[in-house]
Structure 1
Amino acid sequence: MDSIRYVAIGDSFSEGIGDTGDGTTAGTPTLPGWTGRLATGIAALHPGATVSYANLAVRGRLLAGVLDGQLDAALALDPAPTLLTFCAGGNDLLRPAFDPAVLIGPLEAAVERVLARGIRFALLSPADPSARLPLGSLINRRGDAWADALEGLARRHDLPFVDVSRDRHLGRAEFWSDDRLHMNAAGHQRVADLALHAIEAGPLPAEPADARTAKARLPEELRYYRDHVLPWVGRRVTRRSSGDGRSATFPAWTPVV
């Protein structure tokens, strides 16, 4: 491949929230987030190719917002993308009316639209933060239902699919940032490695060493609820989003070196 142009669409997970951007791939500093780290990995895997990266994901976006706004912007990039990754739906499953059967229809239409343009399309299920969140069991059940729907869609269209939500390691605390909702740099790197393996036949990611689970102490739990849970509840009550007023971090093609 002489030229690879990779664009990501989605919500905060694809935007890269929680990742400081620390790390290198083949001696090159990584771009932040699993999408940036994937772009860096693709460049390392194809040293003779010109690799460009764009990221149109914005935190807080529901699936409809991703498909209505970001997809059109991705398809309008000049020159056109050769690869598009989609990961969204995590915010939808936190809403009372979540229904995978309703959400998958518009997404399938988007897949068909992208494939008709000759662009590779890869699907990822959202990361599952349920292990350490309030109402975690409900989030987990809904996450599994959404992952099942995405896997079925990928199978119907022979798409690369990365089931992030059911990776047996990524539920562990060491992969998550302080807000327990977004992954840290280590979590983003593991997702990038999983995606590189699925999309570009990269090396199989190394298995992380087992880690002991530390029990959270009461002052830490109180601080967590004050700093993260209450602001989230406030946004839900006032119908605001963490992405209000925000735009894409990499809206145009950025060379990956």
Structure 2
Amino acid sequence: MGRLFVAVGDSFTEGVGDWEPRLPNGVRGWADRVAKQLSKADPSWRYANLAIRSRRLDRIINEQIDAAIALKPDVISFYAGGNDILELRQDMDRFLDRYEAAVDRLASSGAQILLFTGFDIPVHPALVPFKHRNWKFNDRVRQLARKHPDTVTLVDYWAWDIYHDQRMWDIDKLHMNRAGHRYMAIRILEILGSQHQLEFQPLEDIRRLSPVQLLQRDIEWIRQWVLPMFGRRLRGITLGDSLEPRWETPIYPAKGMKKQFRRRQRAAAELLHGDAEGSVR
């Protein structure tokens, strides 16, 4: 049947920022790119992606971890906690204990586990406390990689200086853009020791902005992204509430991911059409 790669987590793993309307949930992301390259080296590779944007740790644990382990994968990527760190009231010690328990559960599966540190994203001075939380999270991730040296592989995203370049980020400043996801895929393939055909194109020159333009951009960013995000949190809703996992059932990427998505869309449309006809009768 071949080997299986399962991706677990939130928007980082779902692929937000790498927009592609011809794929599920309108995104591609580094995990899709890794799966595609693995399948080019060996067409028997299968791939599932259970990640959904805005998911917090507890829902990822409840909805994705056992489902991922049940698939008996060879590789599981696990990135969770970014949304928890941004919660206004968060007990970091309790959160990190739950995170460690999740990693222990994954490590016991026998699969190779990819764990990620969180990048030290530049933020407004008012948000600096969240950076301190991220540093504490990263310390625990590194400890867990040392705790499970035979099964856990550390992807030390925090240490990759190229992500200090704003051209690696989407307009919301929280998610990687297409270039960021492509570079992430390349680095993970290298960590896995897999051959690949991905190339990272040099970034274009930065367009220099005046101090006034920088201020205007930051104000617009806060208005369009930061305030709505915290507003959703206060209302208890998320951007992922209406979404399903992109690739819940394992696929063979070598057979064409866009082609398989189109087939899935046609099947859903035919089912909906059949239900509509039945209701008319």
TM-score (norm. length: structure 2) = 0.76
Question: d(CA) in 2 for partners of 1:133 and 1:181?
Answer: 12
Q: Do structure 1's residue 190 and structure 2's residue 186 form an aligned pair?
A: no
Match of 1:239 among 220, 228, 236: 236
* Contact residue 15 and residue 59 of structure 1 kept, 8 A: yes
Q: CA deviation at 1:86?
A: 0.2
Tell me which protein shows more helix as a share of its residues.
2
Residues 65-108 of structure 1: CA distance to partner in whole angstroms, max 9, x if unpaired? 1111111221233xx21111001111111123445442333333
1:13 maps to which residue? 12
5+ residue gaps in structure 1? 23-30
Contact 2:14-2:51 at 8 Å conserved across structures: yes
Specify the SS of the correspondent of 1:59.
Answer: coil
| Counterpart amino acid of residue 38 in structure 1 | V
Return closer, same or farther for 1:233/1:110 CA change in 2, 3 Å cut-off. closer
1:222 aligns to 2:214 (yes or no): no
SS in 2 for 1:9: strand
Q: 1:17, CA displacement in angstroms?
A: 0.4
In structure 1, distance between residues paired with 2:175 and 2:8: 17
CA positional deviation for 1:117: 3.0
Taking a change above 3 Å as real, the CA distance of residues 178 and 102 of structure 1, as seen in their structure-2 partners, is same
Aligned to 1:72: 66
2:263 corresponds in structure 1 to none
Q: Which has the higher strand share?
A: 1
Q: 1:92 to 1:161 in 2, by over 3 A?
A: same
The count of corresponding residues between Structure 1 and Structure 2 is 243
How much does 1:126 deviate?
3.1
2:273 maps to none
d(CA) in 1 for partners of 2:37, 2:83: 27
| Residue 197 of structure 1: how far off its partner (Å) | 2.0
Deviates more, 1:164-173 or 1:150-159: 164-173
Deviation at 1:212, TM superposition (A): 4.8
Q: For structure 2, which runs of at least 5 residues remain unmatched after alignment?
A: 22-26, 255-281
Give yes or no for the alignment of 1:154 onto 2:145: yes
1:100–1:43 distance in 2 versus 1, CA, 3 Å: farther
Among 94, 107, 110, the alignment partner of 1:102 is 94
Q: Is the 8 A contact 1:173 1:213 kept in 2?
A: no
Report the aligned-residue RMSD.
2.8
CA–CA distance in structure 2, aligned partners of residues 192 and 18 of structure 1: 14
Q: Deviations over 1:168-199 (max 9, x none)?
A: 11122101111111110111111112222223
Taking the aligned partners of 1:172 and 1:239, their CA distance within structure 2 comes to: 33
Contact 1:169–1:208 (8 Å) recurs in 2: no
State the SS of the aligned residue for 2:249.
Answer: strand
The letter of the residue matching 2:231 is: G
Structure 1 228/4 Cα, relative in aligned 2: closer, same or farther at 3 Å? same
SS at the partner of 2:238? coil
